[in-house]
Amino acid sequence: MLSEITSFALCGLEGVPVEVETDINKGVVSYDLVGLPDTAVKESKERVRSAIKNSALYFPVNKITINLAPADIKKEGSHYDLPLAVSILKASDQLTADTDGIVFLGELALDGALRAVTGILPILISAKAKGFTRFIVPKGNANEASYIEGTEVYALESLREAVDFLSGEKLFKPVEHRNFKVTQSLRSYNYDMSLVRGQKVAKRAMEIAVAGGHNILLAGPPGTGKTMLARCIPTIMPDMTFEEALEVTKIHSISGELSEEGIVSLRPFRTPHHTATTVSLCGGGNVKIHAGEISKAHKGVLFLDELPEYTRRTLESLRQPLEDRVITIARAGGAVTFPAEFMLCASMNPCPCGNYGSSYLTCTCTPAQIHKYRNKISGPLLDRIDLQVEVDGINYEDLTGESKEETSTQVKERVERARAIQRERFKEDNVTVNANMGEKQIKKYCKLSRECEEVLRNAFETFHLSARARARIIKVARTIADLSWSEEITPEHILEAASYRSYDTSSL
C-alpha cells in the first residue's frame, strides 16, 4: 500500500514542498529511506520506529521503502519525523483519514512526544504563499506559528494526539492568531541614552548615523562608554514593522534562537567575538548551512568591539555584504542567499595604550606604533564607515552631576522624523536611507551651493580626502540637514559632516 504525506524542506529561508511517499510490501523485512536525506534525516528512521511502537501503534514488519521527493533537494533537519511516522501509519492502514493538503512538521522523541523544531516560521510563510493553509506542528512551536494570519495550525503534543486528531477521535482547536504589537518592544531594552552621561559629540553622531542609516566608528580610551553607547543604538532606531519583525524572525527561527515569545520584536544587537570565524560571521557550513552573525543582525546592529583585534580576513569578508546588504553562500546543489541589512558599529582604542587624543590621560605610544595599529583596519572597510567619532573621557562632575540627559525615546522621535523625510524623498528610487544613495541620487538630492562647495573643497585639499570620503561627507550632510528639517544643505551641515571623518583627516 502506498501513501503520500506533505512536508517542507528549507533552502535558506525558502520553503519547498516535499512529498513523503511510503510503500509497504510483503518481502524481505527492511526499512529504507531514499531521496537525498542528510545524516540527521537518516537518524529519524529509528526515532520514528520507537515513537510508533511507544504510541500504542504498530510498526509494520515488512519491506518498507520511504522516498522523499523531489530527490534533488537536500533534506536537512529533524522535522521529517512526524510526516514519516504518519506516512507509515497510513501505508499500513492504521490511519485512513484524509491528509491531503495538510503540512506535517515535527521531531519525535522515542516515547512519541512531539519536539519543537527550527525553521517553522519561514516554512509557514512559504507554504502559505504556495496555497497550503493547514499544518500540524509541535506544541513548542505554537507561538511562532501564531503570527501568520490565514492559516490553520494545530500544535500538538505527540504522535498519538496527531493520530487522534486526524481520525477524528479527539477535537483540537487551531492555534489562535496573534497580532504583532510594537508596544512589546518598548519594554525590554536594557539600555537607554539617558544612562550615558556627557559624550555629547558621540551621542549626536549616533543620532545622525541612525537617522541616515550610516555606519559608525567610536574611537576612544577604554572605559569611556563606547560599548554602552553602542548598546543604545537599537533603542533609538525606529520600531520594527511587522514585516521587518517577520524577516528577522525567519533568520532567528532557522538558527534555533527564538525566544518563548515566538517573534523577534526588538532590533537585534549582535556582538561577534574577534576570534569569530568567517563562517560564523558570514554564514555557511559543510553539513547544514547556517546564517551568520551578519544575518542575525539583519535590521539591527552588528557591533565589532575593539575593531583592530579582528583579523584582516574577517574584516575583509564584511565588505561585500556591507555593499550588497545580502550574503550569498555557494554550495553544492545551489547557492543560498540570506539578508544582511545591518548597521555596523565598531569601536576601537585610538592607539595601543588607549590614551591618544585624551584630554585626561597621556599616550605613551610612538607615532610608528600608532600608525601600525590603525593600519590594521583596512582602508576599504573604513571607507564604508561614514562617521568616525572620537570619544573622550568624561570628568567626575559630568559623571555624577545632576544634569538631565535625553532619553532614547526623545532621540528616537527625531530619528523617525528624519526617516520620514527620506521615505518621501526616495519614493521613486530604490533607496530607503541617505547612506544608500548612489551617485545619481547624490546629484539629484544633494545640490550644493557655492559656499558649500568652497567648504568642501577646503576640507578636501587640507586633509587630502578621497573621492569616496567626499561622497560620504555629502551624504552625512544630507542627514544632518534632514534632522534639522532643512531642504538645503548648508555650509554648517558640511562642516559638521566633515568633522566626523577624524580617521581620514588625522595627521598620522
User: Which region, judged by CB under 5 A, interacts with Mg ion, from 43-51, 132-140, 179-187, 220-228?
Assistant: 220-228
Q: Which three cell numbers stand for residue 168?
A: 477524528
The least distance separating Zn ion from the CB of residue 142, rounded to whole angstroms, comes to: 55
The least distance separating ligand ADP from the CB of residue 309, rounded to whole angstroms, comes to: 13
The least distance separating ligand ADP from the CB of residue 139, rounded to whole angstroms, comes to: 40
Helix or strand holding residue 250 (H, E): helix 242-254
For the chain, helix (H) and strand (E) counts, in that order, are 22, 18
The least distance separating Zn ion from the CB of residue 353, rounded to whole angstroms, comes to: 3
Q: Do residues 110 and 53 lie in contact, with contact meaning Cβ atoms separated by under 8 Å?
A: no
- The number of beta carbons lying within 10 Å of the beta carbon of residue 180 is 16
Out of Mg ion, Zn ion, ligand ADP, none, what residue 224 binds, judged by CB under 5 to 8 A for its kind, is ligand ADP
Cis omega before residue 70 (within 30°)?
yes
The least distance separating ligand ADP from the CB of residue 146, rounded to whole angstroms, comes to: 37
Out of Zn ion, Mg ion, ligand ADP, none, what residue 234 binds, judged by CB under 5 to 8 A for its kind, is none
The least distance separating ligand ADP from the CB of residue 196, rounded to whole angstroms, comes to: 5
Q: Which three cell numbers stand for residue 412?
A: 528616537
305 strand-pairing partners: none
* Residue 363 contacts Zn ion per CB under 5 A: yes
Residue 60 and residue 184: Cα distance in Å, rounded? Answer: 49
Out of Zn ion, ligand ADP, Mg ion, none, what residue 353 binds, judged by CB under 5 to 8 A for its kind, is Zn ion
Phi, psi of 378, deg, nearest 5: -70, 145
Out of Zn ion, Mg ion, ligand ADP, none, what residue 265 binds, judged by CB under 5 to 8 A for its kind, is none
Closer of 83 and 220 to ligand ADP (Cβ): 220
How many residues make contact with Zn ion (CB under 5 A)? 5
155 strand-pairing partners: 137
Out of Mg ion, Zn ion, ligand ADP, none, what residue 256 binds, judged by CB under 5 to 8 A for its kind, is none
Residue 145 and residue 138: Cα distance in Å, rounded? Answer: 10
Phi, psi of 482, deg, nearest 5: -60, -40
Closer of 177 and 376 to Zn ion (Cβ): 376
372 contacts: CB under 8 Å, gap ≥ 6: none
Residue 380, exposed/middle/buried by CB under 10 A (0-12, 13-18, 19+)?
middle
Closer of 195 and 365 to Zn ion (Cβ): 365
Closer of 353 and 455 to Zn ion (Cβ): 353
Phi, psi of 70, deg, nearest 5: -70, 150
Residue 429 and residue 423: Cα distance in Å, rounded? Answer: 10
Closer of 219 and 480 to Mg ion (Cβ): 219
Closer of 19 and 309 to ligand ADP (Cβ): 309
Q: Is the dihedral of CA 99, 104, 109, 113 positive or negative?
A: negative
Q: Are strands 30-34 and 63-69 parallel, antiparallel or unpaired?
A: parallel
Cβ-closest residue to ligand ADP? 225
The single residue among 227, 277, 505, 506 that binds Mg ion, judged by CB under 5 A, is 227
Task: Single out the residue of 107, 98, 42, 54 nearest to residue 80, CA to CA.
Answer: 107
Closer of 227 and 505 to Mg ion (Cβ): 227
The least distance separating Zn ion from the CB of residue 372, rounded to whole angstroms, comes to: 12
The single residue among 59, 135, 191, 356 that binds Zn ion, judged by CB under 5 A, is 356
The least distance separating Zn ion from the CB of residue 354, rounded to whole angstroms, comes to: 6
Residues at the interface with ligand ADP (CB under 6 A): 196-199, 222-228, 394, 399
* Residue 271 contacts Mg ion per CB under 5 A: no
Task: Single out the residue of 156, 158, 169, 37 nearest to residue 97, CA to CA.
Answer: 169
* Residue 361 contacts Zn ion per CB under 5 A: no
What does 204-229 look like in DSSP terms, one character per residue?
HHHHHHHHHT--EEEE--TTSSHHHH
The mark string for 88-127 relative to Zn ion (x by CB under 5 A, - otherwise) is ----------------------------------------
Out of ligand ADP, Mg ion, Zn ion, none, what residue 137 binds, judged by CB under 5 to 8 A for its kind, is none
Query: Interface with Mg ion by CB under 5 A: which residues?
Result: 227
Query: Interface with Zn ion by CB under 5 A: which residues?
Result: 351, 353, 356, 363, 365
